[in-house]
Structure 1
Amino acid sequence: MLKSRTLHPQQALCRKNLRYASSALNNRKQILRSSVMTAAAPVQALPYRVGHGFDLHRLAEGYKLIIGGIEIPHTKGCEAHSDGDVLLHTITDAILGALCLPDIGQLFPDTDPKWKGARSDIFLSEAVRLMEERGYILGNIDCTIIAQKPKLSPHKENIRNSLCTLLKADASVVNVKAKTHEKVDSIGEERSIACHAVAMLVRKDLVTTNN
């Protein structure tokens, strides 16, 4: 009859660590497998989907101020890895959110040198492509830009026209509002700029056109 071998304490500890490492690795594999399956799963074809987007950028000298694809004359611009277009980043996230997809930071990480100085319309175009691929069009979008300066009212129409082109949407479904922050916190102190957007997506097969 074989006698059980008594392990040295160090050997026992090594075996315990190996079992722990193996268990942790298997758990990680299950998480990754689940994430891939979730990402690959088709988006449920609901009649309507709603998404919210928010973004905030620090303002600094030496940068251009780009909002909605339009360069706005100002002494400061947004510090960012890309061109810092706070409005397009917000709208991109609103559309991705409506589709229950990863956000702009996951799809276009600022750690990737490929996106250094990139135009933000690239990000929005990809969100629009994903929207159309899943059978949706833009029902309407409502955007609010929050900045103490510069005054954005004179630029709102140009910004909206630019958005209509990028979103492939009629002006009747694209709304752009601009507000100050009453000189409160970093936005009110002209150290940052922020934006909110709410987007409604509508299934293409539910939309009728008037001839």
Structure 2
Amino acid sequence: MFKFKKPSNKTLEVMCEVAKGNIEKNYEESCIAKIKELTCKEHVKITSSGNNSIFIALAAIEGDVIIPDQGGWHGFKQIGRFLNKNIITLKTDEGLINTEYMDDLNYKDNSALIFTSFAAYTAEQDVKSINKYCNDRDILTIEDASAGIGDNKNKLGRISNIVVASTGSPKIINVGEGGFISTNNKEIFNKTSIPQKLSKTSQIVCSGVDSEIDNVKKILTCH
């Protein structure tokens, strides 16, 4: 879907200048501020990859991890198993989440549903109804918004409890590597200090993310 998406020339120039040591601006602070606004979240961490963002999110879950049977990222299940989480598979309509199917699930307290903004990067999830259903039942929502971040009209990457994203190729925010995780629940970060330390990134990546965020609306319009 995003095969042709590339970082802008301005972004590449900024990253190059930071790599040369010609710019001393704290880009991590700057892009965190922009991600807070973009995702409507108070707490943000820049990570070394989208998978590391998912790792941090799932590491904080104490209950079961609910994963759609189609249309998600294969890393959801792999990371969940690595963390020894009990995984519950949710039936979907060809990747699209139908909350009626969740009525039959047996899950523990403090469980979470992890899903992508777009099933298989092509079909948009009804993020509003998913979050309403889950919030009413104390199920945490983790949204991988790599392909939908910035779509404020449909609330993609804005209303889920935890928002994760990759900023690698060929995502909406593409700087070749990196990612982020954002949430209003500070406890998510308090519980996961070790994986956060293992997932640090550089000022070069942060400068790229900082620059590319400014292009999100234009990118979404083109797609």
TM-score clears 0.5: no
Q: Answer 1 or 2: which has greater strand percent.
A: 1
TM-score by length of 1: 0.22
User: Which gives a bigger RCO, structure 1 or 2 (Cα 8 Å, sep 6+)?
Assistant: 2
Indicate the structure (1 or 2) with the bigger Cα radius of gyration. 1
TM-score by length of 2: 0.22
